[in-house]
Chains A and B, each alone.
Chain A
Amino acid sequence: MAMQPRFEMMRRFLRNRGAMMGSLILGAVVVIALLAPVVYPGDPLRIVGPAELWPFQDARFPFGTDALGRDIAAMLAHGARTTLLIGILASAASTVIGITVGAVAGYYGGWVDEAAMRGTELFQTIPNLIFILTIVVILGPSIAHIIVAIGVVSWTSIARLTRAEFLTLRNRDFVQACRAMGLGDGAIIVGEILPNALPPVIVLSSLIIAGAVLFESAVSFLGLGDPNVASWGKLIGDGRELIRTSWYVCTIPGLAIVVTVLSLNLIGDGLNDVLNPRLRDR
């Protein structure tokens, strides 16, 4: 009987057209990211052809080349790796931080909760992108630092959600029973309450990946991305001077971002529909 609900959930997810479309698109992006070093081996940032070649002119460069003569398709494919890597790791980092803070605040209450809430408020007040830029400027532009910066800025929503869940769940009967059995706080938090609190947190995590992708593209666009890797934001930033003549250099990577973030949002909505059943509008 425990398998049934999970099966039912998967069916509902699969029936959601938006979620299916999103999954397909994201799947395609993941495949591209994984195959990038195979299809476009070597450094994507090296010069391989004539500069400012328009897309569909030359079979070797289906998406054309940029101002320096670099292959846009190669940079696009490798950029997918950067984007997904940063998105997933940043989301993971903020989820871990958020769950920790939220769980402790929600479970213990009292001054611990107060302090956690003040901290959350602080991190919510500092304008997020400005905070990220500041951290990356000071620590230096590299993938690791960007991941840390995005993580630092994105954990608050997860913390709030986890805290809310814990506040509801900590007074439930099964928790009292565990305490009566002599289980320690840690075991109860991680083993008992957390699994029940996870579904909405998972949904939020997936949406944070989308946010992380947008943040990373903005950071790279502004020139603070890792200079040694290809990134969609960087492509757009480099292509700015060319908007009068070769505006495709900006357009194509932007479309890639839109499509990827869109698919993540659709999946997130689909997960929400499945994991948090509520009265539907329609």
Chain B
Amino acid sequence: MPERPVLRLLRRRLLQLIPLLIGVVVVNFCLIHAAPGSFLDVMTSDNQVTDPALIARLRTTYGLDDPLWLQLLKYIAAVAHLDLGFSYRQNMPVFDAILAHLPATLILMLSGLGLAVLVGVTAGIIAAVKINTIWDSIVSVLAVVFFATPSFWLGIMLTVLFAVKLRWLPVGDMTTLGADGGTFAQLLDVLRHLVLPALSLGLFYAAIYARVMRTSMLEVFRLDFVRTARAKGLSAVRVTLFHVLRNALLPVVTMLGLQMGTVLAGSVVIETVFAWPGIGTLLFDAVSTRDYPMVLGIMVLGSLMVVAANLAIDLCYLWLDPRIEVG
């Protein structure tokens, strides 16, 4: 009985994961050693640690008196045990701090991407169906402009307009301080806070997806099976939304997979603009206070997130395109 493609894919991906993560850790290691000051300084945030017992223990854990290669191995071992160091700024292990802030970032990322796909794909479909008309031009111009717009600046401009001038939406944060009310009211509160950040993050990607979708739709329109669908007497709407769309979406899904890293990075900046309590805020804090363990820890976990997201996209693609044989 041949192995199901899903399992094969999972197995292949997991095997790829390990050297990739080791690579990230090695890069981390190199960066640590590129820093001015010693490894110990880095791991204890510029001598914020004064307890000699703790310092001694750190020396043994990371083997600071050992040759470089041994240090590397010990570092890899530490990371494998999810020990990414200790953050004095947050006063907790790096790993725990990141985990605590992860959900907020995930909410932002997913909303931003969801918005991007919805807006971008719809715009692309409109541009393709109404090709060479004013709608096509509008979509193209908007796409080209939003593609050139830094998302953090867009966030600030949206804040000025909607939060400061019009006062429709809150200025920042994820929730309103001191707000109670039932779960539904709380959910609504979060959503209100989510609108501007998600828009700021998503519109850049919406521009990309609009362009890709338009091109993809136009290419699919030319294929033979679309002619067959029309010959079957199906309405134009059905032909476009059922037959063409399913095929045209595939490149967009592929593109999504390639962009996971940039989206995560993008949400980092957006979070600082909106004081959204996710990993971005954590990173900004760490960067401002030279909290090296935190900065490096975020890089490692961020990479892990990207790999996980890629896997999810791959599975999605497998489900969407029956022609893919994972081998």
Contact = CB atoms under 8 A, between A and B. Distances in A.
Contact of B295 (A134, A223, A243): A134
B266 interface: yes
Residue among A129, A131, A217, A240 with max Cβ neighbours from chain B (10 Å): A129
B228 interface: no
Given A127-B262, A244-B164, A118 B23 contact: yes
A258 B272 CA distance: 20
Contact of B148 (A139, A265, A282): A265
Contacts of B16: 121
A133 B295 CA distance: 8
Contact of A122 (B24, B215, B302): B24
A128 B261 contact: yes
A110 to B, nearest CB: 18
Interface stretch (B52-60, B71-79, B238-246, B282-290): B282-290
A164 B147 CA distance: 26
B302 A223 contact: no
A118 B19 contact: yes
Interface stretch (A9-17, A26-34, A43-51, A246-254): A246-254
A262 B144 contact: yes
A257 B153 contact: yes
B150 A214 contact: yes
Contacts of B131: 281-282
A137 interface: yes
B150 A218 contact: yes
Interface string B138-177: 0000001101111011001101100010000000000000
Most B Cβ at <10 Å: residue of A224, A244, A266: A244
A223 B152 contact: no
Interface of A is mostly: helix
B156 A243 contact: yes
Contact of B24 (A125, A135, A137): A125
A261 B148 CA distance: 5
B272 A222 contact: yes
Given A138-B31, A223-B288, A127 B265 contact: yes
A128 B302 CA distance: 10
Nearest to B153: A254
Contacts of A187: none
A140 interface: yes
A130 B153 contact: no
Contacts of B307: 125
Nearest to A260: B148
B159 A243 contact: yes
Given A250-B156, A258-B145, A138 B35 contact: yes
B160 A247 contact: yes
Given A134-B296, A135-B31, A250-B156, A210 B261 contact: no
Given A129-B268, A139-B34, A247 B283 contact: no
A276 interface: no
B247 interface: no
Contacts of A24: none
Contact size range, A: 35 or more
Interface in A214-229: 214, 217-218, 221-224
A126 interface: yes
B218 interface: yes
Contacts of B34: 138-139
B159 to A, nearest CB: 6
Nearest to B215: A281
Interface in B1-55: 16, 19-20, 23-24, 27, 31-32, 34-36
Given A222-B284, A250-B156, A126 B302 contact: yes
Interface in A105-143: 118-119, 121-122, 124-131, 133-135, 137-140
A138 B30 CA distance: 11
Residue among B164, B299, B307 with max Cβ neighbours from chain A (10 Å)? B299
B132 interface: yes
A250 B262 contact: no
A40 B274 CA distance: 34
B6 to A, nearest CB: 22
A130 B148 contact: no
B264 interface: yes
A203 interface: no
B292 interface: yes
A236 interface: yes
User: Closest 6 CB pairs between A and B?
Assistant: A129-B265, A254-B153, A261-B148, A262-B148, A122-B23, A127-B265
17 contacts: A122-B24, A124-B261, A125-B20, A125-B261, A129-B265, A134-B31, A134-B299, A137-B290, A217-B150, A222-B284, A243-B160, A244-B164, A254-B149, A257-B150, A258-B149, A261-B149, A282-B132
Interface of A: 118-119, 121-122, 124-131, 133-135, 137-140, 210, 214, 217-218, 221-224, 233, 236, 240, 243-244, 247, 250-251, 254, 257-259, 261-262, 265-266, 281-282
Given A127-B268, A261-B149, A265-B144, 20 more contacts: A122-B27, A124-B258, A126-B261, A127-B265, A128-B265, A130-B268, A130-B298, A131-B299, A133-B287, A133-B295, A214-B150, A217-B153, A221-B153, A222-B287, A223-B287, A233-B150, A236-B152, A244-B164, A247-B164, A257-B148
